[in-house]
Chain A
């Protein structure tokens, strides 16, 4: 009955939509339910620490130099054995990222000689004014690990002599 084709087409369409009614909804109820991010997702930056609690960042500002949108501002200061923040010669006394400027390209990650700055998993970045968009160091630093101590630490003289700590070849 090819003649009935106009009608059969309509009924097939109706059947398709009716059948889709009984499928499981694909909706993710966002604030309550979150989809895990992909392994290489580039979210908000995190400043990493070593296991003992020292900051990886040595304040070299290579990230700021690499940043295509000039979102990063770094100011370095000297470490002393009395007040030690990082294993290197210097540390970042100010580290600010303007999240309104950042394009999440990940160049800062690539530029960092100590793997201190990493683009993390957080993507919920909202603020109500421009000043809040500038994330200071305290917000970016990851919390101290269980067996570490907070910075500044008091260290024995002669333990940290290199200006850049010794690094293995980066993975990933």
Chain B
């Protein structure tokens, strides 16, 4: 193994971790600002110009806060749980390609840390670990609210992981590979969001549930569970859990941008490779805005409806989407290339059927109530 290569990996890994940690800090500011504007407020603007020093002030506050550990808590697991939640959020970004291969001072620099040929599978497996962190945080706190939050999150994340995985499958089928670099290159002519709009929609909804964001933020429903699984956490341990949540948002937005929105691809990327990181950054910012926007708009849905939606709507729909995608690809390969457009048409039809059935169910419930 080449020593210089190891050094390069180390540097890239460090840079990525620092970007994610800085990104977390500024994502909190971004979210607060965007939420404030949606609520016709100004948002934080006292610390530094436009509040750009606010995350630093928050960090200093959190570091100097007292860390409480409940007397009956399982100390070791209580200590480990925030770490277990944070690490997967940082680790999944290793396979995301941030740009095409750059040539810096005659040296070829690849803008990803690991080029795994089963990149998407790796993402799926690592994100599942994050569930442990939340469940263990809830359990080790020895608090009934935290326990409820942890249990809810395990049920929710496991349920929505299936729909999320099947949404991934539709992108994998379209690209014909699990390697992230190749998935991006497969979107050279057309982004997968246009070929598989319903798959993208399922992905976006399921990610909201995966990262416990509103309107699926059951594990931390303030009104019912005070703060859910992190109710007993304070100080820097709380900051770690908080960081994990926001880094998961960033990571999952990066993955979504890579799988469905062309990754680092955009106009003139082939001529100017350094545009790649800028494009993916913009795409991540837009996807993050979507998450914030949804949080500002929709109320939290009831827990049984969340589960019903996951199992009775998203799961069948995502199965149908995978089925349609597979058939469309076979038709396009065997009969005519333009038949690929059957995929979006048929999956939109499937989405329509799903909404129609939801409408019927809702109306039947209304009659039953009346």
Within 8 A of A (CB), among B48-64: none
Complex-state Cα separation, A29 to B46, whole angstroms:
10
Within 8 A of B (CB), among A122-150: none
Of A6, A10, A20, A29, which contacts B40 at CB under 8 A? A20
Given A10-B298, A14-B293, A17-B296, A25 contacting B42 (CB threshold 8 A): yes
- State whether the Cβ of B118 lies closer than 8 Å to any Cβ in chain A: no
Complex-state Cα separation, A24 to B39, whole angstroms:
10
- Among A17, A18, A23: residue with most chain B CB under 10 A: A17
Q: Which residues of B contact A26 (CB under 8 A)?
A: 40-41
- State whether the Cβ of B11 lies closer than 8 Å to any Cβ in chain A: no
Complex-state Cα separation, A160 to B297, whole angstroms:
71
B359 touches A17 (CB 8 A): no
Give 4 closest A-B pairs by Cβ, nearest first.
A3-B356, A27-B42, A17-B297, A25-B42
Contact with A along B343-370 (1 / 0, CB 8 A): 0000000001001101100100000000
B362 touches A6 (CB 8 A): yes
A20 touches B38 (CB 8 A): yes
B355 touches A18 (CB 8 A): no
Within 8 A of B (CB), among A9-62: 10, 13-14, 16-18, 20-21, 23-27, 29
* Partner-B contacts on A (CB < 8 A): 2-7, 10, 13-14, 16-18, 20-21, 23-27, 29
Given A23-B40, A25-B37, A25-B42, A18 contacting B362 (CB threshold 8 A): no
Count B interface residues, CB 8 Å: 19
Q: Which residues of B contact A3 (CB under 8 A)?
A: 352, 355-356, 359
Q: Closest CB of chain B to A85's CB: distance in Å?
A: 46
Q: Which residues of A contact B355 (CB under 8 A)?
A: 3-4, 6-7
A6 touches B359 (CB 8 A): yes
Q: Which residues of A contact B294 (CB under 8 A)?
A: 14
Complex-state Cα separation, A18 to B298, whole angstroms:
12
Q: Which residues of A contact B296 (CB under 8 A)?
A: 17
Complex-state Cα separation, A139 to B63, whole angstroms:
43
Of B34, B38, B41, which contacts A27 at CB under 8 A? B41
Q: Which residues of A contact B39 (CB under 8 A)?
A: 20
Given A10-B298, A17-B296, A21-B37, A2 contacting B42 (CB threshold 8 A): no
Of B40, B297, B359, which contacts A13 at CB under 8 A? B297
Complex-state Cα separation, A2 to B363, whole angstroms:
11
Complex-state Cα separation, A29 to B41, whole angstroms:
11
Given A17-B38, A20-B38, A27-B42, A6 contacting B358 (CB threshold 8 A): yes
B41 touches A18 (CB 8 A): no
Complex-state Cα separation, A24 to B298, whole angstroms:
22
